[in-house]
Structure 1
């Protein structure tokens, strides 16, 4: 402990002072938790921006698609766009062109393949959008326990100091306990935003998945009617 900071000195309760006075193990725990917090915020900001962009662009593309008079021309203009709805559209159109290129068309087989490929494209987009959400879930569930480990270690160190000093005064044990509890506070600081963001992003991804599946079903129905019209 820094001898210039008395236990009752308010400066000794500042985060920097608590970190400087902590044991090496507790310091390592604090640094690890702060790194986890920074990592989680980077994921939160990147995933949130990606989800908003994917949802907005997909919504615009869907509105334009249903207004289009020529599906093939619309696909030629937008089929290569890096948009979830565009990838579902591309999967359906490409399979449609392959399946209807021959002289004989297996209509039920075409319908089954269209449904499978568009659902697979939707699942691939959802997997891409939720790629790093498991990190948030891990930080949210593990960080409090890592902080608790630092707290337990710090309290053990404080009781060892009591035994060494043979003094049960609160002035002896309080600084070590404060440092230890600070580790738990950092653990909660890392975990709470990660849990909240994970739930919010998961909800947003679920909503986008439902919308993409509705688009895939509606497009599948459109192509199915085209099959019936060609009889």
Structure 2
């Protein structure tokens, strides 16, 4: 077997020490698992944003919140994302309205708490897998570096009994050791990039969720106050010319 064949990538991997091979296998499995998480998380984020945009268009098209609630149930028995926030808020509103002498002081905090609990669950669902990507991105270079250090150390130890060392004798050992570093970077870089992209996307979704919760609470407060007036409300603010005109649903 000639030197060029011995220095091929596959030959270097096969000739590596058992510990370096174990490091390469661990990094390969981590890379495969991170790509599985990346594709599944990308699909989840995309479907969440699509569902959010559909619901916002429907919600601000006017009508009645009960009609929106029934339409959500027809669309999905177990809604997720922003429809889930609305569902939990509306169901809490309906429970509160069945009580006697209900005021906005009692209803609005209850609706907000119900939506906040759902928000926590939705964020937990969306955040699942991000910790794994962060772990792979942070420790993979160090795992690869460990394999590199071990491989280089083994290569130089093997020269201890040699009187006249040459580069051709130590080059294969160093090359196979550096493969571990390359494998660590191969596993870490996509995980870090995906983690940052998904984190930014999650922040965007969370802000949209929180904005909707505030808008929903305002609609509930105005509806309950109108049904049980205690004081005259101020006229609603007219939208600025650059703001889109939206029609809030009625309770």
Fold agreement, TM-score > 0.5: yes
Q: How does 1:80-91 map to 2 (within 5 A)?
A: 80-91=77-88
Aligned length: 225
Instruction: Give the Cα separation in 2 of the matches to 1:72 and 1:124.
Output: 24
Instruction: Give the Cα separation in 2 of the matches to 1:191 and 1:205.
Output: 21
Residue 164 of structure 1, CA deviation: 2.6
Secondary structure of residue in 2 paired with 1:162: coil
Is 1:143 matched with 2:137?
no
Report the RMSD for the aligned CA atoms in angstroms: 1.3
Deviations 1:123-178 (A, max 9, x none): 21111011111000000000000000100110111011110333321111110000
State the match for 1:192 in structure 2: 189
Deviations 1:86-127 (A, max 9, x none): 110011101101111022214212111111221221221111
State the match for 1:64 in structure 2: 58
Give the structure with the larger helix fraction.
Answer: 1
Q: Which moved more, 1:51-60 or 1:114-123?
A: 114-123
Unmatched tracts of structure 1, length 5 or more: none
Unmatched tracts of structure 2, length 5 or more: 229-251
Deviations 1:187-215 (A, max 9, x none): 00000100000000010011011111111
8 A contact 2:103–2:225 mirrored in 1 = no
Instruction: Give the Cα separation in 1 of the matches to 2:164 and 2:69.
Output: 80
State the match for 1:21 in structure 2: 15
Taking structure 1 as the reference length, the TM-score comes to 0.93
Give the counterpart of 2:68 among 71, 74, 78. 74
Q: Deviating runs (4+, > 4 A) in structure 1?
A: none
Is 1:39 matched with 2:36?
no
Instruction: Give the Cα separation in 2 of the matches to 1:141 and 1:179.
Output: 22
Taking structure 2 as the reference length, the TM-score comes to 0.86
Secondary structure of residue in 2 paired with 1:116: helix
Secondary structure of residue in 1 paired with 2:161: helix
Q: Which moved more, 1:166-175 or 1:221-230?
A: 166-175
